[in-house]
Amino acid sequence: MPIHIRCRACTREVASAECDRGFRCSVCAARAAASADLAAYQRLWAKRARYGRRQVALEAIDAQLGRLAKRMAARLHERIPDGEAAAELLNGLLAEARQQADSVGGRILVPRHGQELVGGGARA
Ligand SMILES: [Zn+2]
């Protein structure tokens, strides 16, 4: 009978063989491996929103977003044997990052050049 332990990050009970040396499950290990790229993706997405209608800048940003997503996919697939689950996790993480970047919170963190923080956040 396989030994089960609790993942240190999400507390889910998983087979010990699935865990990495930090006692994290494969999903949490994969998320951690992709977290730096995900943060970069989110910053870039916020930048993309600010560039709005300037087509030339958008093409460069989209190419970079694509490269980041591909690298994250590779990191997730390395650690999550179920390909469909890895793809689903990636899509969820990317959607969440884009949503965060699009939210008011994202805009407060990155005020536009020449823009001042008024009250709770930056004004458009
Ligand atoms: Zn976990």
From ligand 1's centre to the CA of 102, what distance in Å? 27
Could you give phi then psi for residue 43, rounded to 5 degrees? -60, -40
pLDDT value at residue 50 = 83
Give the pLDDT confidence score for residue 91 in this predicted structure.
97
State which residues form the domain around 63.
Answer: 4-109
Cα of 18 from ligand 1 centre, angstroms: 10
Considering the domain boundaries, does residue 10 fall inside one? yes
For ligand 1, the distance from its centroid to the CA atom of residue 54, given in whole angstroms, is 41
Distance 28 CA to ligand 1 centre (A): 4
* 5-9, 57-61, 104-108, range with greatest mean pLDDT: 5-9
119 falls within a domain: no
**C-alpha of residue 13 to centroid of ligand 1, in Å:** 8
Q: How many whole angstroms from 108 Cα to the centroid of ligand 1?
A: 31
Number of domains in the chain: 1
pTM of this prediction? 0.72
For the stretch 45-103, pLDDT in tens is: 999 888 876 777 888 899 999 999 999 999 999 999 899 999 999 999 999 999 999 88
Give distance in angstroms: CA of 1 to centre of ligand 1. 21
Residues 39-59 as b or e (16 or more Cβ within 10 Å = b): ebbbebbbebeeeeeeeeeee
In a domain, 25, yes or no: yes
Is residue 115 a part of any domain in this protein? no
Least confident of 1-5, 33-37, 91-95: 1-5
14 lies in some domain: yes
CB-CB neighbours of 96 under 10 Å: 12
Write out pLDDT tens, residues 111-121. Answer: 445 444 434 34
* Domain assignment of residue 114, yes or no: no
Query: Would you say residue 118 lies in a domain?
Result: no
